[in-house]
Structures are given as C-alpha cells and as structure tokens.
Amino acid sequence: MRKLLWPLSWVYGVAVYLRNMGFGLGLLKQVDFPVPVVVIGNLSAGGTGKSPLVQLLARTLSKEFKVAILSRGYGRSTKGFRMVSKKDAARQSGDEPLQYVHTLENVIVAVCEDRVEGIRRLLAEGSPPDVILLDDAFQHRYVKPGYAILLTEFSQPYYSDSLLPSGNLREPAAGAKRADAIVVTKCPPQVNVEERQKIREELKPLQHQQIYFSYIHYRDPLQRTDGTHLPLEILKKSKVMLLCGIANPQGLMDFVSSKAIAVETCVFPDHHPYSVGDIIKLKNRFISFASSHTGPSFLLTTRKDYMRLLNPELQHLLKELPLLILDIEPAFIPSDQTSLQDTVRNYIMGFRKNH
C-alpha cells in the first residue's frame, strides 16, 4: 500500500520543497518579533509528545518570566485569535490549550491559526509576555523563531520515515537543519549509551545542534474529578477501563496493562470530540466490565482526554463512574532536562540583553 502512495508523496514533497525554497530565498517573508519566540514542533504528523514538553518548559520558565503559549487550537470550532480560559470548552479552544490553562499557573494561553497575527495580538495586550512558546509550529515559517526545538519519536524517528501520505512526515528530513535542539522522545527509561550514540549518528546533527533524550513519566498520584487524589499504586489492585483519544496510544496502553489486574481499552482517534452517544456506550460497557470481575474498578483517562469530557452533558453521564485522570510528562536522562531548560533560558536572557 505504501508503495502505491509514493507518487503522491513525491508530489507532496515537491510542493513542500518549493515552499521551503521560497522562505530560503526570501520570496516568502518571515516576520521577526521583538520578543523571544521558542518553537516546539516536529516533522511528523503528531504523536511525538509536544504538549508535555510545552507544559514542562512553560512551568519552568514561568518562575522567572511572563510566559505565553500560542497554539493553533486543533479541533476547535472557533476561528481567529482567542484567549483561552478555564471556562472554555474544548470545542472553543482545542483540548491541548485548555489543558495548559487547567494545569499551569501564571501562564497566558491563546489560540490563533495565523501565528503572526496571534503574536501581534499578544504583544498588543496591556501586559505583554516576556517569551512566547509556539506550540506545534515548526512548519509555520511565517514566524521567524529565535530558538527551535524539534521532537522525534524513539520508535519512529524522522530519518526512517517517509513523506505523507505513504509515511507520516509533513516535510523531508532535511527540515531538521532548521532546529537548534532535537529531542528524542518516548525512549525506553533505561536507554543506554550505545543506543543513544547510534541515534546521534543517524540524526547527523549540525555542529550547533544539541541532542536530548526523554521518556514518558506517568505522574503519581492519579486525580479524581472532585480534585482529590489516589496513589498510582492503587491500579495494582484494580481493574481498569482505559479511555483515550491520543496519537500513538500504545505506550500508554502498555503502561496501564503492566499495572492493573485486568484492562479493557476504549481507543478513539486523536482529538476525538466525545459525544453523548460515545459516553452512553462507554458507561454501559464499563458497568458490564466492572460486574464481570471482583474487586475495585476504575475508568482511567488522560488529562488531554478529560478536557474533552468537561462538557456538562457528558459530565452528567460520567458523574456516577469512578473516573481517574492520569497526567503525563516528559522525563529526561540525567542532565538533559537541566541542560535543555538552561539553554532555552540563556537564549531568552541573551535576547533580552541585546534588545
């Protein structure tokens, strides 16, 4: 099947090449802003773990700077610039921006499909941000980034992938040359030196590019919908129905399967807008699942999924279910996290000094 799609990938690749050439020759203009702009993105079509890294950087940088996150707001029904509020529904702002608002303090979150317009609107605010994090904007080249972080997944690095539609790449691997740092995500927690070195050799970084390795950390404790918590350890004594609509959920499914006595999965496409019908079916399925086993049973979902469950109509159906929320964040091999955060901080400080 992939071979049949190669001609389409070739046509797509030519279009992307010409677009990138247009920016390289200055035929398509990039806008430079008087504020540090950090881009976090990837070459592939999602699933590399951008949102957790955006959260981590925002949480760290907000201790010292006024931080704004600007996202397209994938899956929202609204258009144009919008400041995101906790009162929003996912359909108004997108599930990931809404997650940022619910999990980060003292961070501005906005959405706008036109990132140039979005930055202009943020800078026009009464108290503009000190730094802007552009979420999933590596291909949004109309904004000239000050520092670009490219993510690639350990199990499917961009150098072994191909262009859409035969593969999963939005642009050729050569686009990685625009990155200042490359983060290899979703590594095995115990990835060894030899494996890391092999990946470095395959990535062929330029002299200025730094390589970091991260893995997924599932936070303890789990959160109930009423804000109280239960230890992650409780899963070892429980049966779990996992509800998720995220990209590449296999790692999450493997993690939950390794923890719980029995697991049943309800998997939807990434950013799936849960409907009343979905939740009615889920509720009936959970009741059947729980009654077929002895001991405690829980419905488990991710924070990102929970943002799409905040609709009052859905909450009414879910209120009788023992729903737990699992938070996901990146963890780095020793020294990498501090190094990446320090590098981004140094870029911001250098920018502010020079401007």
pLDDT of residue 5: 84
- Is the pLDDT assigned to residue 336 strictly greater than 80? no
**Burial of 291 (C-beta count, 10 Å sphere; 0-12/13-18/19+):** exposed
Mean pLDDT of 233-249: 95
Q: Once rounded to an integer, what is the mean pLDDT over residues 121-130?
A: 95
* Contact yes or no for 121/109 (Cβ under 8 A): no
Strand partners, 213: 184
Q: The whole model's pTM is what?
A: 0.95
Q: Contact at 8 Å (CB) between 290 and 320? A: no
For the chain, the residue count is 355
Averaged pLDDT, 124-146 = 96
DSSP β-bridge partners for residue 111: 71, 82
pLDDT at 133 over 70: yes
Q: Residue 1: pLDDT above 70?
A: no
* Helices marked H in 145-211: 193-203
Is the separation of the CB atoms in 104 and 145 below 8 Å?
A: no
Question: Position of tokens 């697991």?
Answer: 263
pLDDT in tens, 8-65: 999 999 999 999 999 999 999 999 999 999 999 999 988 899 999 999 999 999 999 9
Report whether pLDDT(3) > 80. no
Bridge partner residues of 69 (DSSP):
109, 133
Q: Which residue has the tokens 């419905």?
A: 299
pLDDT band (50, 70, 90) for residue 334: confident
The tens digit of pLDDT for each residue in 283-296 reads 999 999 999 878 89
* Separation CA 83–CA 124 (nearest Å): 13
* Cross-strand bridge partners of residue 217: 329
Task: State residue 241's pLDDT score.
Answer: 98
pLDDT in tens, 169-225: 999 999 999 999 999 999 998 899 999 999 999 999 999 999 999 999 999 999 999
Helical H runs in the chain? Answer: 2-24, 50-61, 90-93, 95-103, 115-123, 193-203, 250-259, 276-291, 303-307, 312-318, 336-354
Cis before residue 205, ω within 30 degrees of 0?
no
**Across the strands, what pairs with 183?**
151, 212
pLDDT at 337 over 90: no
